[in-house]
């Protein structure tokens, strides 16, 4: 396996956008504790033209809460800067990421389930087949901030795979990247299918077929298990793996189970969203500079998620953040029920406004805005630093179907 160090390499150096390099040099002498905040804000200032000029356009369309501050006038460390007008605007990212160039859009990812293709096995069971390729790709994670990612199917997070309890799953994995990779599924499978060395970890140009039964139902994680693990993880090699419960196997909660089966009539009333909390260490110092849901910092500030308040909301939430021990999800103006791991049909927590997830933890959130006024309802990590570095968004709640 090619050696990869945790120190910045020449390859990593060259992959960092010029603006980032300039910013890093500017803050190189500063205290380590200030570096990642300074780097990001400094980087955005150094990105210059596009980011700063775009603020004008954004201010015309962004919700009032994001009102533009004068980022260009800020010192490298925002906490050392004059705080006049810094309530929110100065801490947000300005400009827009080019989703078309990336080839994926965080908004589209919310509902873009990959259900593969199916065949019927001789015993009558469904065989569900997914195809996943590991691909090296540079992606734009914040306006003007580029990151040399390793991806599953050219997107970060990887495809949100979705199956039904009891199906046989076959995942055809091809490594088109430059390093050894694997797919390690959290769930139940044989040792031969574990995605570790000798069990489906493959080199560039190789292919492996993982096969196992879809169980238990719930909201699971898959990720690459090549070493060094934290590097492969944070490079973008993770995704949601959702197994819908089979209502026939859960007669006491058949209605609840049916509501989770993608494509069922009971499921149709729900607004289901796939959200992966993630972050990026853009200067390879072992700390993150950009935080997000579905990769793009502040994506859902720029494009609030439309919610029809007559229909309940269900979020499949996962924490794929490396380097920081925990991440969290906080909802404004509302409370939600939480199903830890999603592998049960009654909530493990009821009526909560914040849920915390450590690395690799995941679960299902359910809530409704049925009795609320229309408006923009914020959600974000409750680690304020994560919020300011990109992990913040709005639900745009309005009238309901037909209004």
What is the rounded CA–CA span in Å between residue 229 and residue 208? 19
Could you write out the DSSP letters of every residue in 365-386?
EEE--TTSPSEEEEEE-SSHHH
Asked whether position 181 contacts Cu ion by CB under 5 A, the answer is yes
Number of residues that bind Cu ion (CB under 5 A): 5
Least CB distance to Cu ion at residue 180 (A): 7
Least CB distance to Cu ion at residue 235 (A): 7
Residue from 237, 292, 315, 331 binding Cu ion (CB under 5 A) = 237
Least CB distance to Cu ion at residue 14 (A): 20
What is the rounded CA–CA span in Å between residue 289 and residue 385? 10
Residue nearest to Cu ion (CB): 224
Residue 15, CA atoms < 13 Å, CB-side half-sphere: 20
For residue 186, with 0-12 CB atoms within 10 Å meaning exposed, 13-18 middle and 19 or more buried, which class applies? middle
CB 148 within 8 A of CB 4: no
Quick one: which segment of 34-42, 77-85, 237-245, 335-343 binds Cu ion (CB under 5 A)?
A: 237-245
Q: Which is nearer to Cu ion, 37 or 235 (CB)?
A: 235
79 in the Ramachandran plot: left (φ > 0), alpha (ψ -120 to 50) or beta? alpha
Comparing C-alpha atoms, which of 335, 323, 365 is closest to residue 348? 365
Q: Which is nearer to Cu ion, 39 or 226 (CB)?
A: 226
Q: Which two tokens stand for residue 376?
A: 């923009």
Asked whether position 232 contacts Cu ion by CB under 5 A, the answer is yes
Quick one: which segment of 26-34, 76-84, 233-241, 269-277 binds Cu ion (CB under 5 A)?
A: 233-241
Quick one: which segment of 176-184, 268-276, 307-315, 380-388 binds Cu ion (CB under 5 A)?
A: 176-184
Q: Which two tokens stand for residue 67?
A: 């009102």
Q: Which is nearer to Cu ion, 96 or 231 (CB)?
A: 231
CB 133 within 8 A of CB 174: yes
Asked whether position 226 contacts Cu ion by CB under 5 A, the answer is yes
Quick one: which segment of 154-162, 180-188, 345-353, 393-401 binds Cu ion (CB under 5 A)?
A: 180-188
Residue from 224, 242, 276, 331 binding Cu ion (CB under 5 A) = 224
Given the rule CB under 5 A, which residues bind Cu ion?
181, 224, 226, 232, 237
């Amino acid at each position: 396996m090619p050696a990869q160090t945790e120190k910045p390499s020449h390859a990593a150096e060259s992959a960092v956008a010029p603006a980032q390099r300039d910013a890093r040099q500017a803050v190189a002498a500063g205290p380590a504790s200030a570096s990642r905040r300074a780097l990001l804000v400094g980087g955005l200032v150094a990105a210059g033209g596009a980011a700063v000029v775009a603020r004008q356009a954004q201010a015309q369309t962004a919700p009032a809460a994001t009102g533009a501050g004068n980022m260009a006038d800020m010192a490298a460390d925002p906490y050392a800067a004059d705080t006049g007008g810094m309530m929110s605007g100065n801490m947000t990212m300005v400009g827009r990421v080019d989703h078309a160039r990336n080839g994926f859009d965080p908004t589209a990812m919310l509902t873009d389930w990959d259900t593969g293709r199916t065949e019927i096995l001789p015993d009558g069971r469904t065989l569900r087949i997914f195809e996943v390729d590991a691909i090296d790709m540079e992606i734009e994670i914040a306006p003007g901030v580029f990151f040399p990612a390793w991806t599953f199917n050219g997107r970060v997070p990887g495809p949100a795979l979705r199956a039904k309890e009891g199906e046989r799953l076959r995942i055809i994995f091809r490594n088109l990247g430059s390093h050894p990779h694997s797919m390690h599924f959290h769930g139940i499978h044989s040792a031969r299918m574990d995605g570790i060395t000798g069990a489906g970890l493959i080199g560039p140009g190789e292919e492996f077929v993982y096969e196992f039964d879809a169980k238990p139902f719930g909201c699971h994680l898959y990720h690459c298990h090549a070493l060094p693990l934290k590097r492969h993880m944070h490079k973008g090699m993770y995704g949601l793996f959702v197994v819908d419960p089979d209502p026939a196997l859960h007669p006491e909660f058949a209605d609840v189970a049916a509501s989770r089966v993608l494509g069922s009539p009971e499921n149709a009333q729900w607004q289901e969203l796939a959200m992966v909390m993630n972050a990026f260490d853009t200067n390879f110092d072992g700390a993150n500079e950009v935080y997000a849901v579905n990769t793009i910092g502040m994506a859902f500030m720029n494009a609030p998620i439309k919610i029809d308040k007559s229909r309940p909301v269900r979020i499949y939430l996962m924490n794929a953040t490396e380097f920081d021990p925990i991440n969290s999800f906080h909802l404004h103006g509302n409370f939600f029920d939480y199903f830890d791991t999603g592998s049960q049909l009654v909530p493990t927590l009821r009526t909560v406004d914040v849920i915390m997830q450590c690395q690799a933890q995941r679960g299902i959130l359910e809530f409704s805005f049925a009795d609320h006024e229309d408006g923009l309802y914020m959600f974000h990590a409750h680690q304020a630093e994560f919020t300011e570095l990109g992990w913040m968004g709005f639900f745009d709640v309005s009238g309901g179907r037909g209004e």
